[in-house]
Homo-oligomer: A and B are copies of this chain.
Amino acid sequence: MTSFPDPDGVVPLLRRGTVMVVVMAPGATPEDVARVVARVEAAGGETFVSTGVSRTIIGLVGDVDAFWQLDLRALPGVAAVHRISDPYKLVSRQHHPERSTVWVGSGERRVPLGPGRFTLIAGPCAVESAEQALEAAHIARSAGASLLRAGAWKQRTSPYAFPGLGVTGLEILARAGEATGMPVVTEVVDPRDVPVAAEHADMLQVGSASMASVGLLQAVAETGRPVLLERGHTATVEEWLMAAEHIAQRGNLDIVLCERGIRTFEPTTRTTPDLVAVPVAQAASHLPVVVDPSHAAGRRDLVVPLARAAIAVGADGVAVDVHPHPEDALCHGPQALHGAELRELARAVRRLPAALGRQDTPAAYPRS
């Protein structure tokens, strides 16, 4: 074993925990190596160079984000750059090993999402009318939900599809939440709508199509409301956590991650629900992780099996669409649960977390 000596005090620098490895190409010249070293040192970093004949490797010590900005890959003679440390910090479990619990709502209507619990979020995809919203809220409640979710603005692929009721929808949703004793969650799609949404809703959702919209992430963060952050259809887990980092960076750490399917080549379902992302994200981040099987699959017959699987894989909650009359729904009717499926879901929510050894009872049970 060839121990790495430390005559120049490298070890203390390593304590900062941020390192990068630059691999030089076989034909790189000493000047190429010197250029990398110079740029890193100009940026306040330290380097250690391991020179062979066919390859030279340079280890970087210091602020990995500053180094990343240097775009060292662009320099002549650089073959590859490996980042060793995570690109996110505030949401990383590395520096915050305990998993977090996020509380939504206030006063009597205060609901936790986090480890050792299971929380059901339910409601209609879109608010359509006061009657529909209230009826759906009762259905959600009786299935075991403790958080009510519905959309006032919808991000639709087609300009000819129902866009939502806007502020009117927010008001209806808030009343339905009060009437059924549940805090409410609603999606925002435009930063200009965030202030009014934060007035009416207890939690703001950033949808998959907006996950990378920095302006929206910042606007949402600044309200101080808890955020339900959907994973983009094409986002890696790392990019999802980077989006969360954008929120955290503005001082808001009340973030719940929501997996809702990734885009793959398989055409049968709307997206491919990536359930393994739940334990992967929980290992990388201290934030709670829930799954939305309704939007992921887009087909009612798959929602209950997926909800069961989400519970079994360790999700901290599940978010589903319910509707009093799915066949009349203005948005995503084919995925809304009703009747028999709803009862099956309620049964799974009641029994499965316990069978899997979750110690807390779900917050979602009726409290009386």
Q: A residues within 8 Å of B by Cβ?
A: 1-5, 8, 10-11, 13-17, 19, 21, 23, 26, 37, 39, 41, 46-55, 57, 59, 65, 68-69, 71, 73-75, 80, 82, 84-85, 87, 94, 155-163, 189-193, 209-210, 212-216, 232-234, 236-239, 242, 245-246, 249, 262-269, 272-280, 283, 296-297, 300-302, 305-306, 308-314, 326-327, 329-330, 332-334, 336, 351-352, 355-356
Task: For the A-B complex with A10-B50, A192-B215 known, give 10 more contacts whose Cβ atoms are closer than 8 Å.
Answer: A14-B51, A15-B52, A21-B82, A23-B84, A55-B85, A71-B329, A192-B192, A279-B301, A308-B356, A311-B312
Q: Which residues of B contact A238 (CB under 8 A)?
A: 268
Docked CA distance A39–B326 (Å): 13
Q: Which residues of B contact A189 (CB under 8 A)?
A: 213-215
Docked CA distance A49–B1 (Å): 8
Name A's interface SS. Answer: mixed
A276 adjacent to B273 (CB under 8 Å)? yes
Docked CA distance A94–B193 (Å): 36
Docked CA distance A202–B217 (Å): 28
Name A78's closest neighbour in chain B (CB-CB): B334
Interchain CB contact (< 8 A) of A74 among B191, B249, B267, B333: B333
Docked CA distance A69–B238 (Å): 27
Q: Which residues of B contact A69 (CB under 8 A)?
A: 161-162, 330
Q: Which residues of B contact A237 (CB under 8 A)?
A: 266, 268
Q: How far is the CB of A7 from chain B (nearest CB, A)?
A: 8
Interchain CB contact (< 8 A) of A4 among B21, B51, B162: B51
A21-B21, A65-B160, A280-B269 given; A71·B26 CB < 8 A: no
A37 adjacent to B234 (CB under 8 Å)? no
Docked CA distance A237–B302 (Å): 15
A65-B160, A159-B246, A302-B276 given; A234·B4 CB < 8 A: no
Q: How far is the CB of A200 from chain B (nearest CB, A)?
A: 18
Q: How far is the CB of A265 from chain B (nearest CB, A)?
A: 5
Docked CA distance A51–B14 (Å): 8
